[in-house]
Amino acid sequence: MRAVVQRVSRSSVSVDGIVVSSISRGLLVFLGVAEDDEEADALYLADKTANLRIFEDNAGKMNLSVSDINGEVMVISQFTLYGDCRKGRRPSFTDVARPPKAEALYKAYISALTDLGLNPRFGVFQAHMDVELVNDGPVTILLDSKKNF
């Protein structure tokens, strides 16, 4: 499982021109699920996300998590995080989990964030979404449950 975590001042997601979710200060998480992922991957990444210290403390150091600042989290499913571009010019998506499995693990990740005391917002699984964000910093972190990076 992979996540692109962005520290944001605000973010929103729309489907067919209608805002379905929005947050203020916090994290925007783009989440990709691979075919070999399991619930343990979702739990690992949720814990990492909730406790990732990328918000500044009073001394200006990145020492605070989204939980510490009472921030918000938005999770957007994004299968393209597993696009393999090593051969040719068109990405291959052979490692991507099929929709039923991907949706179940996407929901497991959201549920795990809730269990960790957060109140995540989210997009619409498999919908074409317009995501707006103001990246704060900018701060963007890559996470991978298999620890490939």
Domains of the chain: 2-144 (3.50.80.10)
The first and second tokens of residue 87, run together, are 């051969």
CA distance 16 to 11: 17
In the residue annotation, 78 being an active-site residue is answered as yes
CA distance 50 to 98: 26
In the residue annotation, 49 being an active-site residue is answered as no
Active-site residue, from 6, 49, 55, 79? 79
CA distance 43 to 15: 28
The whole-angstrom distance between residue 23's C-alpha and the CA centroid of its chain comes to 13
- Residues 96 and 31: beta-carbon distance below 8 Å: no
N-terminal to C-terminal alpha carbon distance within the chain: 12
Active-site residue, from 80, 114, 125, 126? 80
Q: Digits of tens for pLDDT over the chain (149 positions)?
A: 999 999 999 999 999 999 999 999 999 999 999 999 999 999 999 999 999 999 999 999 999 999 999 999 999 999 999 999 999 999 999 999 999 999 999 999 999 999 999 999 999 999 999 999 999 999 999 999 999 88
In the residue annotation, 125 being an active-site residue is answered as no
